[in-house]
Amino acid sequence: MNPDFPHVRMRRYRKTSSIRGLLDNVQISQKKLIWPVFVKPGSGIKEPIPSLPMQHYLSPDVLYEEVAKVCDMGVSSVLLFPVVPTEIKTADGSYILQREGLMAIAVASLKKQLPNVTVFVDLDMSEYTNHGHSGIIDAEGIVQNDETLSIISKAAPILLETGADGIAPSGMIDGQVSVIRKSLIEAQMDDRLILSYSTKFASTFYEAFRMAARNTPKFGHRQDCQLPITDVRQAIRESLLDEQEGADLLMVKPALCYLDVIQAIRKRTDLPLGAYNVSGEYNLTWNATKLNIGDSHKMAHEILTSIFRSGADFVITYWSNQIREVLNAYK
Ligand code: PBG
């Protein structure tokens, strides 16, 4: 028998939607979301991405129209990924060093139309190399860390030259944050943010993204770059190392299977910490309504809430462009 009963009755807190809202201590705010967007060269392109329902490949000239819609819903940050045509990809991914390349053009046009949008550019060699690995590889297909660093450090200021607010290095190359920081300072871009994919697991949940970005490794795997899902201490160290190297913002990726990791890193750093609600998490949830196993938007609400509850300050999510439905689903 509960000694406080009948005086303490928890159901009083939950009587009406207004009372429940008053007492909420975690809320999804559109300001805390980043929308990932895939940019294709060309003009007038708005092409559905088969592996990511409701997401589109966009060319630089039409990008702002779609970002403006998301801004109207209160989301004001985007993360851009390049979809580089196969014929431009090389073994050393040198297109990443092209001045006025795809990313620079996309950022210039976006910033011209929507100067207040916060724009991050992904930096990963896998989107530029013809073998799909995140750097220069040797004959065995192993990424050569320090050779890769020299390209990455040159690439960062080039990708940001048209006014992007931050760079998001995602290849998990050791030392990448420190070389990027150094080269941004040299390029007098010390006002740009480094959003490091600091704790990135070797996850199966990236497949839908890889189909979309066409950066699946042609052979081998990324297990020497990405974290084993079974080692939480190493996962924490990776983020703490990036803090030491000069990252401004840390990130855990994926989000949903790693809420414990978000919580653990949150306790070890005062840096802002984000989480990436990745393609597989999105695709599975999006399909729930179709499969008649629950309301996708309600599930998305529950998932995003859980990510914030675990300690994330911001979330990178494909739900950003459907955030109205997601927020309305929870009443
Ligand atoms: C690498 C990158 C990946 C994702 C974002 N950046 C995947 C990879 O390592 O191939 C995955 C994001 C998602 O699944 O939504 N540039």
Measure CA of the first residue to CA of the last residue in the chain; give whole Å: 33
Catalytic residue positions, numbered: 200, 253
pLDDT in tens, 61-83: 999 999 999 999 999 999 999 99
Quickly list DSSP for 285-298: HHHHHHTTSS-HHH
What's the rounded mean pLDDT across residues 296-321? 98
CA of 210 to the centre of ligand 1 (A): 7
pLDDT interval class at 1 (50, 70, 90): confident
Determine the pLDDT at residue 200. 98
What's the rounded mean pLDDT across residues 302-327? 98
Bridge partners, 316 (sequence order):
34, 276
278 Cβ closer than 6 Å to some ligand 1 atom: yes
Task: Report the C-alpha gap between 212 and 170 in whole angstroms.
Answer: 16
pLDDT interval class at 223 (50, 70, 90): confident
Determine the pLDDT at residue 219. 85
pLDDT interval class at 55 (50, 70, 90): very high
CA of 326 to the centre of ligand 1 (A): 23
pLDDT in tens, 27-54: 999 999 999 999 999 999 999 999 999 9
pLDDT > 90: percent of the chain = 93
245 Cβ closer than 6 Å to some ligand 1 atom: no
Q: Quick check: 299 pLDDT over 90?
A: yes
Q: Quick check: 217 pLDDT over 90?
A: no
CA of 58 to the centre of ligand 1 (A): 18
Determine the pLDDT at residue 186. 98
Closest approach atom of ligand 1 to CA 279: 15
CA of 200 to the centre of ligand 1 (A): 9
Task: Report the C-alpha gap between 209 and 4 in whole angstroms.
Answer: 52
What's the rounded mean pLDDT across residues 215-227? 85
Tokens 């802002």 label which residue? 272
pLDDT interval class at 221 (50, 70, 90): confident
215 Cβ closer than 6 Å to some ligand 1 atom: yes
pLDDT interval class at 224 (50, 70, 90): confident
pLDDT interval class at 215 (50, 70, 90): confident
Six token digits for residue 119: 């724009």
Pocket test for ligand 1, best of 173, 206, 277 (most atoms within 8 A of CB): 206
C-beta of residue 173 within 8 angstroms of C-beta of residue 152 = yes
Task: Report the C-alpha gap between 267 and 263 in whole angstroms.
Answer: 7
Closest approach atom of ligand 1 to CA 222: 9
Strand 56-58 relative to strand 33-39, pairing: parallel
What's the rounded mean pLDDT across residues 75-103? 97
Residue nearest to atom 14 of ligand 1 (CA): 206
Tell whether pTM > 0.85.
yes
